Each structure stands twice: as structure tokens, then as C-alpha cells.
């Protein structure tokens, strides 16, 4: 880059695999250099046409208090896997609530107090935002690797006023930035040419995926689902995923020879379901991110 008078600045450009992929077949638009402290960024604006197609493989997601629970159905490999990604957004919120409380109690100077509240407020937003971006990226990458469309609950319920919403949904909306999450997901999936399917999610957590019996008492506790009619017992966090799947794909969830299977009429196939270990696999480890900073209060010396 020329600084004028024959002086040039040279930059070491770090190249990332994903950037290379993004640039393939893209048109470069206005770009600029951004300097932030000691770091220099090259901001590239690109334009690309993407064709969104339908795929028979599906990634079904169910968003919960602490995790995004998923069912990946890959007909090409005759595989279906249930797994869970912890988003820990509730934990981030709780930590910052504690920090805010401590600022309110300990900082007497109103100006400083407001400054600190604003500072930690913006940190909290950034951390939540960062977490949302990482999780949606991870989901989109898993889907891309598997040529899978996204299946998620329909947003219809969210349009109702808060009195009509269920208690559980209201709680979820107050701690989890649901709309933003969906917005990122939709963007990242269509960017990769993958479709997004919305499914009615009513009572998916209390409906038996095998016999269809609906009852609040089907949920024994937070962890266990046990159907009062047919006795089907399963990890409660994955029951909604199974129901969302059968509602989206004209499919049935059944048990054959003691194994959970998916029967898809649309693709005329039968796939056995595996449950992945609870811990995220190695490549998901970066999701854990940085620890929440401790509160440091500095008082102006004057
Ligand atoms: Zn049942």
C-alpha cells in the first residue's frame, strides 16, 4: 500500500480456508482497510449469486434453555444421529447479571456507575452475538458437509402477544435472542444453497414420537420422556427433534428390534438413529470460547 512519496507499507496477509471458499466465484466490490489497535483488517465486499435447492438430507434443530438439540438425517449414508450443542447463553447472561448487580452495589459515583454498566452491557451483547454466530456457523457447516436442509420450528408462535405465549416460550425469548439466531441461521443456510423448512412445533416436547399420544405427563422430568400409552422411554431433550422430523418429512419414528428407526415415505428409506455422546466432538471445542471477564472497578484518581 502506498503512503505517498515512494513509501510503501507491506502487510502480511493471513489467509484462511473459509475466506478462500468465500471468494471463489465471487465478484469483488468496494473494499477497505480497517485498523483496530495493532491489528489491520482487509475488509472485502463480495457479491455472489447462490442457488438454493432442496435436499433430502435434513438437519432438525430444537432450541432449548442451554442447548441446541439436533437430529441429522443423512439418507445417502443411511445414518441418523442425535447430538446436542451447548450454547451456554443463559450462563453468560447470569454472569453479567451478577456483574451488573455488583456495580450497582459497589460503585457510588453515578457517572462511573453508568459508564461501567454501559461497558459491561456492550461486552455482554458482544459475547452473546459471538456465541450465536459460532453456533449458527457450526450448524451450517455440519449441514453443508451432509448436504442437509434445515428443519426448525415455525416462528408463528412468536408473533402472538406475550400473554398468549406459553410460559416456557416467554422464558426462552427473554434469555435467548431467538429472532437473531433464526436470522443468522437462515442467512448461513441459504448462503450455502441449503433450504430452510419451518414446521409447526406445537406440543412437540410432550408428544410421543412413536404412537402420537399427547400428554404433559409424558415428561417424567427434565431428562426423561416416558409415554403413558405405549411406554416409549427416551432422553427428553431429543423428543422434540424426532417429532419435528416426522412432521417435516412425511415420516414415521418407530422401534424395530429394539432400535429406534426413521421410516421416510418420501425417500422410501429406513434409517437407524444413533445418539452421539453428550460432549461436543473435538472440532466443536472452540465453541466454548473465552471465559467471562472478572469485574475490575477502577476509580478515577482525582
Ligand atoms: Zn407412545
Predicted local confidence at residue 296, as pLDDT: 41
Predicted local confidence at residue 211, as pLDDT: 95
Q: How far does residue 260's CA lie from ligand 1's centre (Å)? A: 13
Specify the number of domains making up the chain. 2
Q: How far does residue 210's CA lie from ligand 1's centre (Å)? A: 5
Residue 223 belongs to what domain range? Answer: 57-288
Predicted local confidence at residue 254, as pLDDT: 94
The verdict on 145 and 85 lying in the same domain is yes
Residue 62 maps to a domain: yes
Cα Rg of the chain (Å, integer): 23
Residue 299 maps to a domain: no
Residue 141 maps to a domain: yes
The verdict on 37 and 180 lying in the same domain is no
- Neighbour tally for 169: CB within 10 Å: 16
Q: In what helix (H) or strand (E) does residue 247 lie, and over which residues does it extend?
A: helix 236-248
The verdict on 154 and 80 lying in the same domain is yes
The verdict on 81 and 34 lying in the same domain is no
pLDDT along the chain (302 residues), means of 10: 81 71 80 82 82 94 90 92 90 93 94 95 94 93 94 72 58 76 94 94 93 95 92 92 90 91 88 75 43 41 42
The verdict on 150 and 19 lying in the same domain is no
Q: How far does residue 230's CA lie from ligand 1's centre (Å)? A: 4
3-state secondary structure of 212: coil
The verdict on 39 and 139 lying in the same domain is no
3-state secondary structure of 91: helix
- Neighbour tally for 116: CB within 10 Å: 22
Q: How far does residue 215's CA lie from ligand 1's centre (Å)? A: 10
The verdict on 108 and 200 lying in the same domain is yes
Q: In what helix (H) or strand (E) does residue 234 lie, and over which residues does it extend?
A: strand 233-235
The verdict on 36 and 120 lying in the same domain is no
The verdict on 20 and 150 lying in the same domain is no
Q: How many CA atoms lie within 13 A of 9 on its CB side?
A: 8
The verdict on 27 and 162 lying in the same domain is no
For residue 133, with 0-12 CB atoms within 10 Å meaning exposed, 13-18 middle and 19 or more buried, which class applies?
Answer: middle
The DSSP 8-state label assigned to residue 179 in this structure reads: H
Q: How far does residue 43's CA lie from ligand 1's centre (Å)? A: 54
pLDDT in tens, 83-98: 989 888 989 999 999 9
CA quadruple 84, 90, 91, 96: dihedral positive or negative?
positive
Amino acid at each position: 500500500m502506498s503512503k505517498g512519496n515512494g513509501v510503501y507499507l507491506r502487510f502480511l496477509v493471513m489467509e484462511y480456508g473459509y475466506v478462500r471458499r468465500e471468494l471463489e466465484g465471487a465478484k469483488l466490490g468496494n473494499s477497505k482497510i480497517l485498523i483496530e489497535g495493532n491489528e489491520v483488517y482487509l475488509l472485502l465486499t463480495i457479491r455472489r449469486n447462490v442457488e438454493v435447492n432442496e435436499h433430502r438430507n435434513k438437519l432438525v434443530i430444537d432450541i432449548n434453555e442451554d442447548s441446541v438439540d439436533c437430529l441429522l438425517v443423512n439418507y445417502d449414508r443411511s445414518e441418523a444421529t442425535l447430538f446436542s450443542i451447548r450454547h451456554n447463553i443463559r450462563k453468560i447472561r447470569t454472569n453479567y447479571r451478577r456483574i451488573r448487580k455488583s456495580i450497582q452495589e459497589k460503585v457510588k459515583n453515578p457517572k462511573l456507575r453508568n459508564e461501567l454498566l454501559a461497558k459491561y452491557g456492550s461486552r455482554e451483547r458482544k459475547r452473546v452475538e459471538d456465541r450465536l454466530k459460532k453456533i449458527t456457523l457450526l450448524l451450517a457447516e455440519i449441514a453443508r458437509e451432509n448436504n442437509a436442509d434445515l428443519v426448525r420450528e415455525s416462528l408463528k408462535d412468536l408473533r402472538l402477544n406475550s400473554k398468549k405465549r406459553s410460559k416456557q416460550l416467554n422464558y426462552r425469548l427473554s434469555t435467548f435472542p431467538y429472532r437473531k439466531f433464526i436470522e443468522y441461521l437462515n442467512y448461513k443456510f441459504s448462503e450455502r444453497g441449503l433450504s430452510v423448512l419451518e414446521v409447526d412445533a406445537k406440543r412437540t416436547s410432550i408428544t410421543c414420537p412413536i404412537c402420537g399420544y399427547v400428554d404433559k405427563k409424558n415428561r417424567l422430568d427434565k431428562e426423561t420422556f416416558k409415554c403413558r400409552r405405549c411406554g416409549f422411554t427416551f432422553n427428553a431433550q431429543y423428543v422434540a427433534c424426532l417429532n419435528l422430523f416426522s412432521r417435516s418429512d412425511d415420516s414415521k419414528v418407530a422401534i424395530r428390534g429394539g432400535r429406534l428407526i426413521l421410516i421416510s415415505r418420501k425417500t422410501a428409506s429406513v434409517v437407524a438413529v444413533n445418539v452421539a455422546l453428550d460432549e461436543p466432538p473435538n472440532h466443536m471445542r472452540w465453541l466454548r470460547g473465552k471465559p467471562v471477564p472478572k469485574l475490575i472497578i477502577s476509580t478515577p484518581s482525582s
